[in-house]
Structure 1
Amino acid sequence: MTRSSFPTKKERHVLFGSVPPVTGNKPTLKDQMTDLQNHREDYLFAIEEVGITRVKHPLTIHSTMAPHVQTTIASIELTTNLGQKSKGINMSRLTETLESYRQEGLSTDLAQLCKLTKELAVVMNQTGSKLVMEFPWFYERSAPASNLIGLGHSELYIEIAYDESKYRKFEITVGITVAVTTLCPCSKEISEYSAHNQRGLVSIRVNVDPQLLDDNWKVMLLEAAESNASAALHPVLKRPDEKMVTERAYENPRFVEDLTRLIAADLYEYDFVERFTVECRNEESIHQHDAIARISFDKRQKS
């Protein structure tokens, strides 16, 4: 099909349904517009958390493991509480506050994130607020024999809750999700040779004492997960490396029960950890199901 000429762009838009704007009579200036969010009435319930979620945002990570400074992308949730007599919150203030911290240089510095979380409550005229972020963290990993370097990665988690009515105004939770190798002790025990192994996913969440929090917390949580597994995962492996990794796994068989308990013991020994939850899930290689184990423990209630 050929044609000698096309309608103009404006004519094409009309052809496909565009219509001119209507003449309205509602105000266009902010101070003349109705503010429904600030309307006061009895709205039946207070709301514990209301805000925005799945916000994609750049974030700078400082790490003792190379690369020592990196930029990642975080998925962020920003919320505040809301009293029973308030209809809604001005959600644009949440993104405005986040933008102001981006211009300062938003990072994983927990002091900065506490300041941001409190400011959310202040700008909303509320008594509490919460920040939650999840993001990938990369680190150099050397192969055990060849020493060839590649980038490993795990998922980090930070949650900061602010409540101006509490003696400890900030509750900080940090965590990690990391993949490891697990080798089945039962398979090793009953088989004439070999044993089945699989990839395991370790998820750790710890509530921390801010006064004792170690700045190296992400490295310590990574160590707790990987050092207790059958073997760690590596981005680069040559044959001599593969031999060492598979033999290490054979020498350190782990049920999900074993791995969960061993990690819990490490977390128990970390001074900055007050409460923790550990979950280990094996993506079974000879079953259609996964195996899972979970431990939650509050060190403040120990006997």
Structure 2
Amino acid sequence: MTVYERSVTEQHLPDCASGIQDTQGLPDQRRLPINKVGIKDIRHPVRVKDRTQGEQHTLAHFNAYVDLPQHFKGTHMSRFVEILNEHEREISVMSFRSILEEMRARLEAEQAHLEMTFPYFIMKQAPVSGAESLMDYEVTLRGHMSPEDYEITVGVRVPVTSLCPCSKSISEYGAHNQRSHVDLQVRGRDFVWVEDLVELAEEQASCDLYGVLKRPDEKYVTEHAYENPKFVEDLVRDIARQLEDDDQIIWYTVGAENFESIHNHSAYAQIERDKREPLPDGG
């Protein structure tokens, strides 16, 4: 019996053991269901898979929600925290499904949503000197479960360099460039490595970023960006083309924001695609 099939006349009277009434479980007369109710921005330590080191420890911010039928006054907020604590530091892409199943069962819900955002660190070598430094990337995992469906989305924000093709074509000396953010979100047929998404975004940018650069490295990245000018439109299209060719990916969004160095505004572009549907031109 689902929560929707429970009688609207069922009263949560004082618990026999504690003598304390379950106020959240009382009936509500406004007849308005709630799509999402739960907790936001709770921090919890986690371990996540690392392609090179096996795993890394980090600190994640969680949002957790369920739906609430029209005939219940409230949900039990403490149960969200209890579920996270019971998993201790074993929370990962692989454990998302079991957490969502627990949320649906213990909160008597049809729909469950879980979001986890955390910094992910990758060691990078400067292109000429080989100097090593850590780069951090913001990663977000989003999971959704209903009786009919389960899906998980992996997202990463990748900072890169972009150089303006127009500026290069019209200027005698140099061209303006800026730091940009590429936001990638994908759903795959199987596990998706964060490192693969980071490398994809960096390879299609004018140049990628580094924590430490010596003088020969700075010369290299300046010239490399100059030889690879990209409009924000070029950046999202080039990344999307790579995702189109990857059979592992079934859905994606790619967005890019250029923090313009000669304007008081940003330039932005985005592509969203469900690869199970044909391209607009039938391709």
When normalised by structure 2's length, the TM-score is: 0.90
SS at match of 1:219: helix
Cα separation, 1, equivalents of 2:132 and 2:200: 22
Q: SS state of the match for residue 179, structure 2? A: strand
In structure 1, the residue matched to 2:38 is: 51
SS at structure 2 position matched to 1:287:
coil
Per-residue deviation, 1:111: 2.5
Q: Over residues 172-196 of structure 1, what are the superposed CA-to-partner deviations in whole Å (9 max), with x where a residue is unaligned?
A: 1111101000011011111112111
- What's the counterpart of residue 157 of structure 1? 140
Residue 151 of structure 2 aligns with which residue?
171
> Which residue type is aligned with residue 150 of structure 1?
S
SS, match of residue 220 in structure 2: helix
**Distance apart, 1:31 and its partner CA:** 2.4
Q: Which residue of 1 aligns with 2:231?
A: 255
1:29 to partner: Cα distance:
9.2
**Aligned partners of 1:182 and 1:231 also within 8 Å:** yes
Q: Is the Cα contact below 8 Å between 2:110 and 2:146 reproduced in 1?
A: yes
User: Is 1:271 aligned to 2:247, yes or no?
Assistant: yes
Match of 1:38 in 2: 25
Segments of 5+ residues of structure 1 without an aligned counterpart are 1-26
The number of residue pairs the alignment matches comes to 266
TM alignment of 1:238-253, pairs within 5 A: 238-253=214-229
The alignment's TM-score, normalised by the length of structure 1, stands at 0.84
Deviation of residue 44 (structure 1)?
A: 1.5
- C-alpha deviation, 1:215, in angstroms: 4.2
**Distance in 2 between residues matched to 1:243 and 1:30, nearest whole Å:** 73
User: After TM superposition, what 4+ stretches of structure 1 lie above 6 angstroms from structure 2?
Assistant: 27-30
Mapped to 2, the partners of 1:30 and 1:265 lie a distance apart of: 61
Q: 1:87 aligns with which of 67, 73, 89?
A: 73
CA spacing shift, 1:232–1:28, aligned 2, 3 Å: same
CA contact (8 A) 2:113 2:142 kept: yes
Conservation of the 8 A alpha-carbon contact between 2:178 and 2:261: yes
Paired amino acid for 2:18:
D
Quote the offset at 1:68 in angstroms.
Answer: 3.9
Report if the CA contact (8 A) 1:43-1:87 is conserved: no
Normalized per residue, the structure richer in helix is 1
Aligned partners of 2:68 and 2:91: how far apart in 1?
A: 28
Give the Å deviation of 1:263.
0.8
* Residue in structure 1 matched with residue 176 of structure 2 by the alignment: 196
Task: Give the whole-Å Cα distance in 1 for the aligned partners of 2:220 and 2:17.
Answer: 67
The structural deviation recorded for 1:45 is: 1.5
Letter in 2 for 1:231: C
SS in 2 for 1:300: coil
Q: Distance in 2 between matches of 1:264 and 1:213?
A: 19
Q: CA deviation at 1:272?
A: 2.5
Q: Please name the residue that 1:296 is paired with.
A: 272
2: CA distance, partners of 1:30 / 1:82 = 26
Give the aligned residue type for 1:141. Answer: K
Give the letter aligned to residue 277 of structure 2: Q
Q: 1:106 aligns with which of 90, 94, 114?
A: 90
Compute the displacement of 1:43 (Å).
3.3
**What is the 5 A alignment of 1:69-80?**
69-80=55-66
Residue type matched to 2:140 in 1?
Y
Root-mean-square deviation (CA, aligned residues, Å) is 1.7
Structure 1 residues 241 and 259, CA, compared in 2 at 3 Å: closer, same or farther? same
Measure, in 1, the Cα distance between the counterparts of 2:68 and 2:162. Answer: 46
The answer to whether the aligner puts 1:120 opposite 2:96 as a matched pair is no
Aligned to 1:9: none
Which segments of 5 or more consecutive residues in structure 2 lack a partner in the other structure?
A: 1-13
Question: Whole-Å Cα distance in 2 between the matches of residues 95 and 295 of structure 1?
Answer: 36
Shift of 1:30: 6.6
Identity %: 39
